[in-house]
Amino acid sequence: MTQIPRQLSIVLVEDDPGDATLIQYTFKYDHQESELVWVESLAALADALEQASRPPDVILLDLSLPDTSGIQTVLTCKQTVGAIPIVVLTGYDDAEFSLQVLEAGAQDYLIKGKIDADSLNRAIRYAMSRAKLEQRLVLSEERMAAAINGGKLGVWDWLFDSQTFIYSDRWLETLGYHRDDADLPSDANAWFMRVHSEDRERIELAIERHVQGENAHYECEFRMQHRSGHWVWVLESGHIVSRDASGKPLRMVGVQQDISARKAMEAELTRLAMHDELTGQLNRRSFMDLAERELARVKRKPGYVTCMVMFDLDRFKSVNDRYGHGAGDAVLKRFADTVSAELRKMDVFGRLGGEEFAVMLPDTDVSGAQVAAEKLRRAVEAMAVRVPSFGEPLKVTTSIGVAVLKSSDTLPDSALARADSALYEAKNSGRNQVCINV
């Protein structure tokens, strides 16, 4: 997990003085020793970058500015700031628009009106982590291009009539073989059987399209089984170099490269995009995506019941105030681990923000959800969080609200709002209890 440096340099691009003041106040709450420079346009941002002694750590970017607006704001800003991570500040709470913002080059986004110190810290930390991974990914792709241009790839030569497959030593090394190994596969079919079963159809289709002339060359990413048994991701490309008089392919040559490291980085970027960095659980965006799918299932299947459970750690602010944010983070991680350990594989668990979490219980009625919620409440009550430099372990409790995801709901937000209402009933009734909103 990327730690936020003690002293950060942030540039806020915001033309609304009221919004700018709110962001400055929120940022300074946890970063009194850090610097936040406020500018009101992209032109002013360019000037600030020229005058800065070092590049800022993060750009906080409003989308509606005097000299640009919308997605174009992100595209233009990206050209100006290069690899500096961007967190967009927007009033649009729309999943499709948010995806466009990320595709345009931003690392994360925050919804105006819902920004607090915790969400701002999390967005800054996530943006810095993602930017580092993206830089590593770019470097990896540049190295791959250099390897292709320099001929440092495994080379293969496929003779169709005899199904003979000729390969270079580097090609063999990718899969853990040497030319004198007794168990070396002997022909093209034997090598093809080492391709992951889920990828074979895709390879066959890519080759067929090239053979039929639909594509100028063949290219495919797939998994092959290493001699030791694990799977290796490879990028393979090639083209037919000879055909007979009827157009039947006779020979195809190509290259292959191990791209396992790049795939691992892509998987990590995907994980970061879907999960809360501190707790490792689903973030709000991913949780709501799955909740929308579950709502569609509820609407399709009469009698099918799913419940939403909302959690809020009782008096969590006092933990941060008394012991510091490090202790607060330790409590949140332990809480998430404790809840996750009690859930079924089919249940969906996510952090919605701050100390607020939610669980979706598919195919579970109200009585079943109440039993599950009470079980979770007891598990949290029983946990003790040990924090370095503190003697006694910290004890916390949680208030819980439960509601049904109804077929009449337009969005899962409605069920979460009902669960949230029940949660506050639990808090107002003394905390550390479960309340139901039918």
Tell me the pLDDT tens digit for each residue of 342-395: 999 999 999 998 889 999 999 999 999 999 999 999 999 999 888 776 777 889
Residues ≥6 apart with Cβ < 8 Å to 368: 307, 361
Instruction: Give the tens place of pLDDT for each residue, 92-122.
Output: 878 788 889 888 999 998 998 888 888 888 8
Residue 319 contacts residue 311 (beta carbons within 8 Å):
no
Q: Encoding tokens for residue 18?
A: 């009221």
List 257's β-bridge partners, or say none: 235
pLDDT value at residue 1: 47
* Contact by Cβ (8 Å): 400, 311: yes
Q: For residues 238 and 253, is the Cβ–Cβ distance under 8 A? A: yes
End-to-end CA distance of the chain: 40
* Structure confidence at residue 333 (pLDDT): 94
Residues shown for the chain: 438
What is the pLDDT, as a whole number, of residue 122?
87
Q: What is the pLDDT of residue 269?
A: 85
Q: What is the pLDDT of residue 91?
A: 85
The alpha carbon of 93 is separated from its chain's Cα centroid by a whole number of angstroms, namely 18
Top pLDDT among 162 and 148 is at: 162
Contact between 362 and 346 under an 8 Å Cβ cutoff? The reply is: yes
- 203 has a pLDDT exceeding 80: yes
CA dist., res. 201 & res. 209, Å (int): 12
Yes or no: is domain 9-145 CATH 3.40.50.2300? yes
Q: What b/e readout covers 194-231, taking b as 16+ CB neighbours within 10 angstroms?
A: ebeeebeeebeebbeebbeeeeeebebbbbbebeeeeb
153-263 placed in CATH 3.30.450.20 = yes
Report pLDDT for 145: 65
Bigger pLDDT: 95 vs 130: 130
Q: Whole-angstrom Cα distance, residue 301 to residue 9?
A: 52
Which pLDDT belongs to residue 167?
A: 86
Rounded-to-integer distance, Cα 411 and Cα 361, Å = 16
Alpha carbon distance 56, 426 (integer Å)? 44
Helix (H) or strand (E) holding 3: none
Q: Where in the chain is the domain with CATH 3.30.70.270?
A: 275-437
Q: Please, which pLDDT band fits residue 151 given cuts at 50, 70 and 90?
A: low
pTM greater than 0.85: no
pLDDT of residue 146: 67
* Residue extent(s) of CATH 3.30.450.20 domains in the chain: 153-263
Name the amino acid, one letter, at 117: A
Does residue 149 contact residue 140 with C-beta atoms inside 8 Å?
no
Residue 415's alpha-carbon distances to 250, 321, 411, in angstroms, are 62, 32, 8
**pLDDT recorded at residue 410:** 95
pLDDT band at 147 (very low <50, low <70, confident <90, very high): low
Per-residue pLDDT band for 272 (boundaries 50, 70, 90) equals confident
The per-residue pLDDT for 152 is 60
For the residues 47-69, what does the mean pLDDT come to? 92
Q: Would you state the pLDDT for residue 208?
A: 94
User: For 197, how many CA atoms within 13 A lie in the half-sphere containing its CB?
Assistant: 0
- Mean pLDDT for the chain? 90
Average pLDDT over residues 269-278: 86
| Beta bridge partner(s), residue 226 | none
* Mean pLDDT within 38-52: 93
pLDDT of residue 183: 86
Instruction: Give the mean pLDDT of 408-414.
Output: 96
Taking only the tens place, the pLDDT of each residue in 292-348 is: 999 999 999 999 999 999 999 999 988 888 888 888 999 999 999 999 999 999 999
Token pair for 176: 């853990």
Work out whether strand 164-167 and strand 154-159 pair parallel, antiparallel, or are unpaired.
antiparallel
**Looking at residues 66-86, what average pLDDT do you find?**
92
H-state helical runs in 151-283: 169-174, 188-192, 200-211, 260-274
411 CB contacts (<8 Å, ≥6 apart)? 292, 295
Fold of 275-437: Alpha-Beta Plaits (3.30.70)
Give, to the nearest 10 degrees, the angle between helix 71-81 and helix 42-51: 20
Task: Find which of 25-29, 135-139, 261-265, 417-421 is predicted with most confidence, using mean pLDDT.
Answer: 417-421
SS3 31: coil
Q: What is the pLDDT of residue 170?
A: 84
Residue 9: strand pairing partners: 35
Quote the strand ranges of 32-183, DSSP E: 35-39, 58-62, 64-65, 68-69, 86-90, 108-111, 154-159, 164-167
Helix or strand or coil: residue 21?
helix
- Low-confidence winner among 126-130, 145-149, 199-203, 241-245 (lowest mean pLDDT): 145-149
Q: What is the pLDDT, as a whole number, of residue 393?
A: 85
Q: Is 25 helix (H, G, I), strand (E, B) or coil?
A: helix
Instruction: State the DSSP H helix or E strand holding residue 102, giving kind and residue range, or none if neither.
Output: helix 95-103
The DSSP result for 191-223, as a single string, is HHTTB-TTTHHHHHHHHHHHHTTSSSSEEEEEE
Backbone angles phi, psi at 162, to 5 degrees: -95, -5
Mean pLDDT of 401-426: 96
